[in-house]
Amino acid sequence: MGQFKTPKIHPLAAAVLAMSASDAMSQVTDAENDSQPVIQFGEVVVAADRDPGAKERDKSTVLVERAQLEEQQPESIAQALKYEPNIEVVGGPRYSNQAPNIRGLSGVRVLQTIDGARQNCNSGHRGTYQLDTELLKQVEVKKGPASSLWGSGAVGGVVAMSTKSASDLLKNGDAVGGYMKQELGTNGDSTETTAAVYGVAGDFDYLLNSSLSEHDNVEIGGGEELENSASENTALLARGSIKISDNQRVDLSFRHNNREEGVPSNPNANVGTSSPLVERDVTDQNVTANYWIQAGKSKHTEGAASHTTKVSIYRNDTQFDEFRPTQGDASLGTLGQNDNTEVTTSGIALTNATEGLGAQWVYGIDWYQDDVTTVRDGDNRPENLNAETDVLGLYAQAAFTFGDLFTLTPGARYDRYKAESQQLSDSAREDTAVSPSIAASVKAAEWLNLSATYARAFRAPGVEEMYTQGTHYAYGDFSFMGLGFLANTFIPNPDLEAEKAANTEFRADFAFRGLADANDQLTASASIFRNKVDNFIEQVVINPHPMFGFPMNTTYLNVDEAELKGFELGANYLVNDLEVSASYGQTEGKDLTDNSYLSSIPADKFVLDLGYYFLQRDLKAGLRTSALSAQKQLPEEVTEEYSSYTLTDAYVTWEPAAGSLNGVKLGLALDNLTDEEYRVAFQQLYMPGRNIKLSASYHF
């Protein structure tokens, strides 16, 4: 398959191009009607659910919108989700390695998408979230299994990221706009410079958004510097959309991200013999083309068409170019080792949303292919890998509503997946999976909605889990004992079974108005869940040496039968200029084979969020406090303690709505205000300390 390559584009150069484009477009549009409308075209689906009615029916999908992102100024996607109950930031203090843990599951067990395109770039200890948060419009999280619509990987949930578009940024009546933004942070002396231009000309709209960010070594709580945690990141988003007719639209986007850093091979650890220093250059590129056609008007979902078809074609290419300066052999004249890993995902998705036979239907076809290629230097290393997976899925879901009081939503998906390695004979395998789901919702009162959901999900084994071979790590040369060179080696296991999950969830949602004030509003929710996951795929070391006792092999096996259960509580109160929110989440995880506790389960978390508007709502100030309990539910082999901690964050944003300063926006965000020294449960390193972040932007 072909590969697409583009030169690295410096954001400042992109900004110059953007300003030039802005001037040229303004010359065209000056002669046109200043009130030319932005192209408005309803999206086919809610990103995390592929379902236009999901916001009305499924309250377990949480949404972090651009307003909160600008208040928080998060350094990673996981940081943007840290206030949600039963979601924890894992991966350590290095932002590029961070990922969300959702109800005890993370990594390959949580599917991530960007504008509907799957992001399957999981490889070893390398980071998997490659999108700069400045390019985000919003992040949606579907908690719990979602394979009935999304297929493999959605065992723990879906993190669906949506990037900005011209229609999101243009003000009413404007034909062209842009902004420039500068952010500064005290922790690691971080800086980020962003520039964008966007506009509409007739039936065409466009956006060009670029950023450059840098930060030095991170300081953990108490002021200690974390070595090898500095990085530089360049991001670019180019997007164009054309309205073919009143009910047809084509959207084309290109995304480029490049990050350079020097980190341990396992960024959740310090540099050591088992985690040598790696000079890592990560380039992530994506091309996505979308075609929409809409017809009629929905009777059930406001603003939606009665029939919508969306066709998406995408290609995502992630390359990890690495150099290990300390791993060379001076006696052989070799200086360091080079590693190259490339993960390419190509896909086509056809999604239909329609009404008929008394129901709202969502159905479609998914096809995607992952190609993984590795090239490694030196002896005593894992062998080169060239493998491919091919997945085809068919799905359908229907929502039947009876008297606007009761909704029943059955769904099912069929997947066929294939995998093969070019390095191993008889490695080809093929399997199928069926993922059903059913949800029921009843409006018990004007102020109360009750729902119950049952969903099954699966995760097909990855090519690295099935086909990795060669040396894992070396013990050394024991020739003086007649034993030769001893090392732990990988044993391939192409017969791995898919992980399977079954989740049951019950939920109650409350909504009240006019409790203490004519303008107040109170919403609350309570949910309990139980997710049983079988055939956990884990990396294990086996076959101890008869003389020394240390393990001689590493392989991947289906080991655990896990049960993850817990509950979530949340409430939000709005009255005039005051907003108060509170949430609490608790998850317990056990291995059912021996009733022992699982690792990687998030600690119980309580979050209180206070926000208030001043100066005719031009200024907003807020305080967020997160209290996490000590994690005492530990597997027997874990001897470390994970203490409780409390984090306090604050923010202030000021954006004048009128006057000479209209278009200016200033932001102040204070993370870990008390400089708490804390460690997330089951993580090796302590997390970042106090960080005071300033931002200033001008929109024109």
pLDDT in tens, 204-244: 999 999 999 999 999 999 899 999 999 999 999 999 999 99
Tell me if 430 is assigned to some domain.
no
Asked whether 122 and 129 are in contact (CB, 8 A), the reply is no
| Structural tokens at position 139 | 């992040």
Asked whether 278 and 323 are in contact (CB, 8 A), the reply is yes
| Separation between Cα atoms, residue 436 and residue 412, nearest integer Å | 4
* Tally of domains in the chain: 1
Tell me if 4 is assigned to some domain.
no
**Torsion angle in degrees (nearest 10) through CA of 74, 75, 78, 80:** 10
| Structural tokens at position 667 | 């932001």
Asked whether 317 and 341 are in contact (CB, 8 A), the reply is no
Of all residues in the chain, the percent with pLDDT exceeding 70 is: 89
| pLDDT exceeds 90 at position 273 | no
Tell me if 350 is assigned to some domain.
yes
Count how many Cα atoms sit within 13 Å of the Cα of residue 242 in the half-sphere of its side chain. 3
Asked whether 104 and 124 are in contact (CB, 8 A), the reply is no
Averaged over 650-672, what is the pLDDT?
A: 96
Asked whether 619 and 652 are in contact (CB, 8 A), the reply is yes
Model pTM above 0.85: yes
Q: Residue 329 has what pLDDT?
A: 57
DSSP 95: G
Q: Which string of b and e fits 333-368 if b means at least 16 CB within 10 Å?
A: eeebbebbbbbbbbbebebbbbbeeebbbbbbebeb
Averaged over 334-360, what is the pLDDT?
A: 90
Tell me if 1 is assigned to some domain.
no
Tell me if 131 is assigned to some domain.
yes
pLDDT tier, 481 (very low <50, low <70, confident <90, very high otherwise): confident
What tens digit of pLDDT does each residue of 493-509 get? 999 999 999 999 999 99
Kindly give the pairing relationship between strand 231-245 and strand 204-215: antiparallel
| pLDDT exceeds 90 at position 357 | no
Q: Residue 14 has what pLDDT?
A: 39
Asked whether 208 and 164 are in contact (CB, 8 A), the reply is no
What tens digit of pLDDT does each residue of 574-608 get? 999 999 999 999 999 999 989 999 988 999 999 99
Name the residue type at position 685: L
Secondary structure, 3-state, 488-550 = EEECCCCCCCCEEEEEEEEEEEEEEECCCCCCCEEEEEEEEEEEEEECCEEEEEEEECCCCCC
Tell me if 167 is assigned to some domain.
yes
What tens digit of pLDDT does each residue of 538-584 get? 889 999 988 888 899 999 999 878 999 999 999 999 999 999 999 99
| pLDDT exceeds 80 at position 144 | yes
Count how many Cα atoms sit within 13 Å of the Cα of residue 521 in the half-sphere of its side chain. 7
pLDDT tier, 13 (very low <50, low <70, confident <90, very high otherwise): very low
Helices (H), 230-319: none
Asked whether 130 and 119 are in contact (CB, 8 A), the reply is yes
Q: Comparing 645 with 59, which gets the higher pLDDT?
A: 645
Calculate ∠ Cα 251-167-247, nearest 5°. 55
Q: Residue 547 has what pLDDT?
A: 84
Asked whether 657 and 683 are in contact (CB, 8 A), the reply is no
Name the residue type at position 54: A
Tell me if 5 is assigned to some domain.
no
Show the domain range for 138: 11-425+435-699
Q: Residue 479 has what pLDDT?
A: 77
What tens digit of pLDDT does each residue of 168-194 get? 999 888 999 999 999 999 999 999 999
| Separation between Cα atoms, residue 35 and residue 50, nearest integer Å | 33
**Taking phi first (over 0 means left), then psi (-120 to 50 degrees means alpha), and beta for anything else, what does residue 91 get?**
left
Locus of tokens 């900005």: 164
Beta-carbon contacts of 590 under 8 Å, excluding residues fewer than 6 positions away, are: 562, 563, 596, 597, 598
Tell me if 600 is assigned to some domain.
yes
Asked whether 265 and 234 are in contact (CB, 8 A), the reply is no
Name the residue type at position 216: D
What distance lies between CA 272 and its chain's CA centroid?
29
3-state secondary structure of 572: strand
Q: Residue 171 has what pLDDT?
A: 85
Asked whether 63 and 81 are in contact (CB, 8 A), the reply is no
3-state secondary structure of 333: coil
Of 615, 623, 618, the C-alpha closest to 579 is: 623
We report the CATH number of the domain holding residue 280 as 2.40.170.20
What distance lies between CA 581 and its chain's CA centroid?
24
Of all residues in the chain, the percent with pLDDT exceeding 90 is: 73
In Å, the largest CA–CA distance within the chain is: 87
Burial (CB < 10 A; 0-12, 13-18, 19+), residue 656, is middle
